[in-house]
């Protein structure tokens, strides 16, 4: 095993050109179990990429929460616009 770079371990030896490394789902791997391997871009697994993804998901959740709260408040106050009423009825 080699050094750690952006949260990923560098494999310096012992891996052939036609061999792969499990980087996701290792906790579910069991001897003799059927697997469905998928190739992924390693850049998506770097610590910095995972941090950005987490921050983006938090931002989306906050926006969704704000929108839902606003719609619920409009319903309670009876101040829904026709556009919002149509959207709800669909």
For 2-17, what is each residue's pLDDT tens digit? 888 888 888 889 989 8
Domain ranges of the chain: 4-24+37-89
Rounded to two decimals, the pTM is 0.41
Tokens of 85: 């009423």
As a whole number, the mean pLDDT across the chain is 79
Task: Give the model's pLDDT for residue 32.
Answer: 92
- List b or e across 3-36, with b for residues whose CB sees 16 or more CB atoms inside 10 angstroms: eeeeeeeeeeeeeeeeeeeeeeeeeeeeeeeeee
What local confidence, expressed as pLDDT, does residue 62 receive?
85
| Region of poorest pLDDT, from 1-15, 23-37, 59-73 | 59-73
């Amino acid at each position: 095993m080699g050094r750690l770079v952006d949260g990923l371990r560098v494999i310096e030896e012992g891996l052939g050109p036609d061999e792969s490394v499990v980087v996701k789902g290792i906790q579910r791997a069991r001897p003799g179990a059927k697997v469905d391997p998928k190739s992924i871009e390693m850049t998506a697994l770097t610590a910095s990429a995972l941090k950005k993804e987490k921050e983006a998901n938090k931002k989306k959740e906050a926006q969704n929460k704000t929108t839902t709260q606003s719609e619920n408040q409009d319903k309670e106050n009876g101040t829904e616009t026709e556009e919002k009423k149509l959207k709800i009825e669909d």
